[in-house]
Amino acid sequence: MTQISIPDAVSLNLFIPDKYDILVYGKPKTGKTEFAGTWSEAGDVLYIDSDKGILTLKSSPRIPDNLKQNIYFVPISDKAEDSNVKHPIGWITIKAIIESIQKTGAYSDIEPKTIVLDSLTTASDYALSYTLYINKHLGQQPTLPDWGRQMRELADLINEARAIPQINFICIAHEQYDRDELSGRTWCVPLLTGKLAHRIGMHFDEIYHSVIVESGQNRIYKLETKGSGLVTAGSRFDLPNPINSHYNEIKGLIQKLTRAVGTGQVQSSPGTVNKP
């Protein structure tokens, strides 16, 4: 028999999160990449950049120049520069970056306070091409087992990144409209290759939908934080709806929880259970 440890019960009053995990999705050019860039106010931001959106950050007037020096990016492609490497490398690269930060707290000598996967949409494409390569199905239609593995690859990566202590994790995705043929209902959900789009909500504390509000000659970037009959969104911090698309709208929420309950620490004495 193998003994496994199980945790003791913990008082809700003593639970304090130590970082934010956020999925923000929406149409192109609605401020998603810039929103993540405003988190440079909290410390170094590392973009895992498969969408080639870094020019947006370079030219953004919403991110002060002194904070742009806190932003780093790793360009991701599914095709290797070495012509001798024929297999897809995008997903392997993304996993290697997350694994490095998970083990050492750093990647390429950068110790990020926030990791940004930009985007989850293209990452899901890379996860599929990796799965087809591993299963020796490249160039073929994916099978049900292929789709199942691709979904597990995505979910595992998200959960591993979310579990890294004291490092925020922001995923950016495009949007798609999905219509149920039986009921006729339509939903706006994150655009992902595969079967995870309608289940992605369970993997994030915060899900925001990015929009632009026209006010006279001004275009104001907003984030919808509440779900509707059409839009998938939600905030476990119970944020108002909508909020401005900026770190300042979220900054301090964890600190407020900390002040509310004090600084009590929980000492855990795990029990054991026999596993046959």
Confidence at residue 248, expressed as pLDDT on a 0 to 100 scale: 94
Q: Does the pLDDT at position 264 exceed 70? A: no
Q: Does the pLDDT at position 272 exceed 50? A: no
76 within 8 A of 50, measured Cβ to Cβ: yes
Q: 29 with 118, same domain?
A: yes
Q: 270 with 196, same domain?
A: no
Q: 150 with 201, same domain?
A: yes
Q: 106 with 242, same domain?
A: yes
Residues 146-171: pLDDT tens digits? Answer: 999 999 999 999 999 999 999 999 99
If you average pLDDT over every residue of the chain, what do you get?
90
Q: Which of 81, 80, 74, 26 is nearest to 51 (CA)?
A: 74
Question: Residue 61 and residue 67: Cα distance in Å, rounded?
Answer: 11
Q: 83 with 171, same domain?
A: yes
What Rg value do the Cα atoms of the chain yield, rounded? 20
Residue for token pair 């950068």: 110
Q: 93 with 205, same domain?
A: yes
- DSSP character at residue 50: S
Q: 256 with 158, same domain?
A: no
Average pLDDT over residues 230-241: 92
Question: Residue 246 and residue 36: Cα distance in Å, rounded?
Answer: 8
Distance of CA 190 to the CA centre of its chain: 11
- DSSP character at residue 38: G
Domain assignment of residue 267, given as a range: 1-18+250-276
Q: 150 with 261, same domain?
A: no
Greater model confidence, 264 or 217: 217
Q: 10 with 40, same domain?
A: no
- DSSP character at residue 185: -
Percent with pLDDT over 90 in the chain: 70
Q: 32 with 161, same domain?
A: yes
Q: 11 with 136, same domain?
A: no
20 within 8 A of 206, measured Cβ to Cβ: yes
Q: Which CATH number goes with the domain that contains 182?
A: 3.40.50
Question: Residue 135 and residue 154: Cα distance in Å, rounded?
Answer: 16
Distance of CA 113 to the CA centre of its chain: 14
Give the torsion sign (CA, 102, 106, 111, 117): negative
Q: 226 with 273, same domain?
A: no
99: how many CB neighbours lie within 10 A of its CB?
14
Considering only 9-13, 27-31, 142-146, which range has the smallest mean pLDDT? 9-13
Number of domains in the chain: 2
